[in-house]
Structure 1
Amino acid sequence: MDVLVLGGGYAGLLVTRKLERRLPESATLTLVDETGTHLVQHELHRAIRDPEYVDDIDVPLGEILDRASLREARVTDVDRATRTVSLADGDELDYDYCVVALGVETEFYGIPGVEEHATPLKRLEHAAEIRREFEAVIDQQGHEDPTTPAESTGTVVVGGAGLSGVQVAGELAAMAREREVADDIEVVLLEQLETVAPGFPERFQEATHERLEAQGVDVRPGTTVTAADESEITTEGGTIDYDQFVWTGGIRGNEAMGGDRPQVRGDLRLDGRTFALGDAVRIVDADGEPVPASASAAVRASETVARNVVAAATADGGFVDLAQWRWESPGWLISIGDDAVAQVGPTVLTGAPANALKSAVGITYLAEHGSFRRALDVLRKEADDTGSFAGLLEQL
């Protein structure tokens, strides 16, 4: 029996690790991933301001896997009718059971000029590019010497105020303060809908908006981008001259899935032998509730998928009693530069308590799914921000 897991992100990695322990010894288990590393995506924005984070959040999958084989290749097609996965190198892999966890790509919605002129944030190279572009904006303002007055004000626009956009805007505003150019660099965050963090609880949205403004970000909800060129963004309300443009305005399905995000129900099945989870699909849980595309949802759905794959694989063609997944949010966390917002139940936290909670979540994840060394390195960096290890531990 051949079992494939496609994608080594949160969903794919956790399903693979569970299947390593639960599949019969006779089964072969292969994880297919384009990069061969597990990127801790919820910390990616930090690599914009501090490239040292790269070593901590980009974990070689070979260090994590036990029984599963790793195939480093890009998936180009999943043919569920023939149970065949095509790879970019020309090879094909057959499967008896498959888990699709390929994640998503940035959606540009066909808006003229946006894909050509804006930088997304999905990969490490994107974080590095955003950092280089921001440093170029600083230099353009005459700030090679921070004691020299700026020749003009630079404008950096972030399109899309979901979690990624909020975190990018916060990092850039913090970076401007660190470089002592905050008065001369304007960070603008655009959102088509009427609130930042759309789709999240209202109190979380309000706290996020407030902390963004406190960090010096110019937040503009209700702003629809209609076009862009090399120096100007056109919106329904007018134009914005810019020096740097970052786009986090939406997601679309992986190309291997035809750019679609097919819907799955609570059993997380695409068909009798193919399961899917994470951002690659739109999940409607066992209670009929839509599930947000988030790392938290991907992590929590992995148990149900692993259980159902094992149940199907060991049923010998008989009746399969599939588990049904219900989404229960543990709360929400978001970084905004050196600040943070957290919601646990009805309680919303900001500042030091929220920062400590977000640090604890990230450190725990790395320790469990990356390495203790990486977790300790992140702890050290977080402590540097608060002034000492003791300061961070007191917050925890």
Structure 2
Amino acid sequence: MENAKKNIVIAGAGFGGVTAALILDKAFYRSQELRDAYQLIIINNHHSHLYTAALYEIAAIPQGHHKLDYIKSSITIPLAAIFHETHVDWREREITSIDRDKKLLTFDNTEELHYEYLILALGSETSYFNIPGAKEHSFALKTFADGIKLRDRVQQLIESGDAEPLRIVIAGAGASGVEVAAEFENFICMLQKHQGKEAICKTEVMLVEATPEILPGFAPWIIEKAKKRLSHIGVQIKTGVAITAVEKDSVSLKDGTKLPFTVLVWAGGVQAASVLKTTGLA
């Protein structure tokens, strides 16, 4: 049976969703009328808030240095801890559809939830721009599991010696792509030294960017400093050319050339959460 109170629902527990929930909680704390009339609910597809900006660091922590639980705790905060002793009811659910006319959310377990007010804070997801093979042959970096999966693959290749030299291509040279490139140049060199391969500490890391410059939208002086630093540590930069297709071990560029890779990291951009298509808003 539906709760007698009407629901104020926040979809998504990123920075926007958590902030909205805590602000509303203060209003609930001050108003008995609000508490009597509404229930405050936040829905998220995971039980923790994730600091996605630090995922590139997680992907560069060698296996065995720290337990996974410890690593995870460094970039996540359990929702139970955030909303402890608040008026916020958090629920771990995957939203599959939003019916604005009926004011109804449907979840992947077929459960439904009616709302009176809905705050959409679902964040973004990786966009592959309909490039053939991009999703199938690359590593994304949007979740904790993504970071660990990428780390494990790179470390496995180095320890097995199956790929020498190791070629890392990073699609997209925005902030995420640049951070991954810089971190991986050092991370891989460190792993090679642990394997007794100091003499071949020459991993090929390349940034590929469709726009004329790396870090689109940043101030020119920041771009120049970043380029100098990347060049100093050995990161190659290829700008002004778009990726048109991806195969198992190479990317095709708009100028007709192909770039071989051992590992492709996709940092090419994001798009609105797919579930928003069910609302007519995206």
Bin of the TM-score, shorter chain as denominator length: 0.7 to 0.9
SS at match of 2:226: helix
What's the offset of the Cα at 1:133? 1.6
Match of 2:46 in 1: 35
Residue 188 of structure 2 corresponds to residue 170 of structure 1: no
* 3-state SS of paired residue (1:177): helix
Structure 1 pair 162/95, CA: closer, same or farther in 2 (3 Å)?
same
**Separation of aligned partners in 2, 1:49 and 1:184:** 17
Q: Select the residue among 49, 54, 78 that pairs with 2:72.
A: 54
Question: Which of 135, 143, 150 pairs up with 1:115?
Answer: 135
The offset of 1:83, in angstroms, is 1.3
Select 1:25's aligned residue among 10, 16, 35: 35
Q: CA offset at residue 260 of structure 1?
A: 9.1
- TM-score normalised by the chain length of structure 2: 0.85
Matched positions, count: 255
Q: Give the one of 231, 234, 243 matched to 2:262.
A: 243
**Separation in structure 2 between the aligned mates of residue 5 and residue 107 of structure 1, nearest angstrom:** 24
Is the CA contact 1:138–1:185 (under 8 Å) kept in the aligned structure 2?
A: no
Letter in 2 for 1:236: K
Matches within 5 A, 1:139-218: 139-141=159-161, 152-179=164-191, 180=193, 183-218=201-236
The residue that corresponds to 1:342 in the other structure is: none
Cα deviation digits, residues 178-208 of structure 1 (max 9, x gap):
2236733111111000111112222222222
Please report how far the alpha carbon of residue 209 of structure 1 lies from its aligned counterpart in structure 2 after TM superposition: 2.0
Task: After superposition, give the CA deviation of every residue in 1:293-345 in whole Å (9 maximum; x if it has no partner).
Answer: xxxxxxxxxxxxxxxxxxxxxxxxxxxxxxxxxxxxxxxxxxxxxxxxxxxxx
What secondary structure is seen at the aligned counterpart in 2 of 1:127?
A: helix
3-state SS of paired residue (1:118)? coil
Separation (CA, whole Å) in 2 of partners of 1:119 and 1:74: 22
Match of 1:15 in 2: 20
> How has the CA–CA distance of structure 1 residues 105 and 127 changed in structure 2, closer, same or farther, with 3 Å as cutoff?
same
- CA distance in 1: counterparts of 2:226 and 2:98, whole angstroms: 39
Q: Is the 8 A contact 2:100 2:279 kept in 1?
A: no
**Separation in 2, partners of 1:56, 1:221:** 34
Task: Give the Cα separation in 2 of the matches to 1:137 and 1:261.
Answer: 44
| CA shift for structure 1 position 9 | 0.8
Q: Does structure 2 conserve the Cα–Cα contact (< 8 Å) formed by 1:49 and 1:172? A: yes
Q: CA RMSD in A?
A: 2.0
The offset of 1:49, in angstroms, is 1.3
What CA distance in whole angstroms lies between the structure 1 residues aligned with 2:264 and 2:279? Answer: 26
Letter in 1 for 2:39: T
Q: Give the TM-score, by structure 1 length.
A: 0.61
1:169 partner letter:
A
Quote the residue 1:73 is aligned against.
93
Does the 8 Å contact 1:252/1:261 carry over to 2?
no
For residues 337-359 of structure 1, give each alpha carbon's deviation from its aligned partner in whole angstroms, at most 9, with x where no partner exists. Answer: xxxxxxxxxxxxxxxxxxxxxxx
Q: Which runs of 5+ in 2 are unaligned?
A: 1-5, 29-33, 62-67
